[in-house]
Structure 1
Amino acid sequence: MENYDLLAGLANFAMYFGLALVFLVIFKSVYGLATPHAEWKLIKEEKNTAAAVGFGGAIIGFATALAGAASNSVSVVDFAIWGLVALVAQVIAYSIVRFIFMPKIAERIEKNEVSAGIVLGATNVAVGLINAACMSY
């Protein structure tokens, strides 16, 4: 019976972890659609540091929000709902930077202006941290 107690949480872990990985893949796709520049092409083919920093911050911010959702959710369905909220919040964060703070951010990232990538990455991490904190209830 003791071995069962040790593995009791394994199924829940697998469900939450698997869903989180699916969310990360979905986020990569959705975030890529939200940006007018081709993130992966810039990062993989052109070795664009600004794009890598901006996108890296988006991934960290989203993962932070997912972590908050996972640790505060009461069920897998609850986690999935808050994961969607986190995804939307990150896309909104990008939109705020793009349309309000730095309207030429896409062009600046395409030109590999690292300062633009840092601002975008930092904004994404900040939104993810705030998002995660707001998910505690």
Structure 2
Amino acid sequence: MHAVDILDIFPATLLGFLVAFTLGAAFWALGLMLVSAVTPQKELALLRAGNLPTAIAFGGKAVGMVLPIAAVAGSAAGPLDQAIWCAVAVLVQLLAHLLLSALLQGRLRAEIEADEVGGGAVFIAFMQVGAGILNNACMAG
């Protein structure tokens, strides 16, 4: 393929990129808002205040959620397929969040309230990233 051929198809490939990126970013943001909505703490306010346990746990959630969303963007058959699998990715990460919250029985909440990093924040961050990696591998096709 020559440079002229690449430039001829660029508008179509750019549009495909913009659609995939926008869908992925929207599901990532909506997924994080959904996870935050089921969290008893006001994570955004805590992040703005510099609460380190919140930053660690929420950062793990964010990375864990974007990994499968990124995998779907690269393997989806089209925008509808991408949207469906992004919704599945968000659901898996939400379930992982709820399971981890139940498993630790308030440990993270205590760390957040004390603004002291302990095992809860680090464990949740790593487990959310791990769930995202597994989810990514299963969705990458």
Per the normalisation by structure 1, the TM-score is 0.91
After superposition, the C-alpha distances for 1:56-99 in whole angstroms (9 at most, x for unaligned) are 11111111110111112111111101111111111111111111
Matched, 1:33 2:37: yes
**Distance across 1 between alignment mates of 2:134 and 2:21:** 22
Structure 2 residue aligned with 1:82, among 85, 88, 105? 85
Question: What is residue 55 of structure 1 aligned with on the other side?
Answer: 58
Matched, 1:11 2:54: no
Deviation at 1:52, TM superposition (A): 0.3
Matched, 1:24 2:40: no
Matched, 1:123 2:130: no
Residues 35, 106 of structure 1: 8 Å contact kept = no
Residues 32, 61 of structure 2: 8 Å contact kept = no
**Distance across 2 between alignment mates of 1:68 and 1:110:** 35
Query: In 2 relative to 1, CA 136–25 (structure 1 residues): closer, same or farther, beyond 3 Å?
Result: closer
Deviation at 1:16, TM superposition (A): 0.4
Q: Which amino acid aligns with 2:105?
A: P
Query: In 2 relative to 1, CA 33–11 (structure 1 residues): closer, same or farther, beyond 3 Å?
Result: same
Deviation at 1:36, TM superposition (A): 0.8
Unaligned runs of 5+ in 2: none
Question: What is residue 71 of structure 1 aligned with on the other side?
Answer: 74
Deviation at 1:109, TM superposition (A): 2.5
**Root mean square deviation of aligned Cα:** 1.4
Question: What is residue 103 of structure 1 aligned with on the other side?
Answer: 105
Unaligned runs of 5+ in 1: none
Q: Which amino acid aligns with 1:59?
A: A
Q: State the structure with more CA Rg.
A: 2
**Distance across 2 between alignment mates of 1:135 and 1:13:** 19
Residues 98, 106 of structure 1: 8 Å contact kept = no
Question: What is residue 132 of structure 1 aligned with on the other side?
Answer: 136
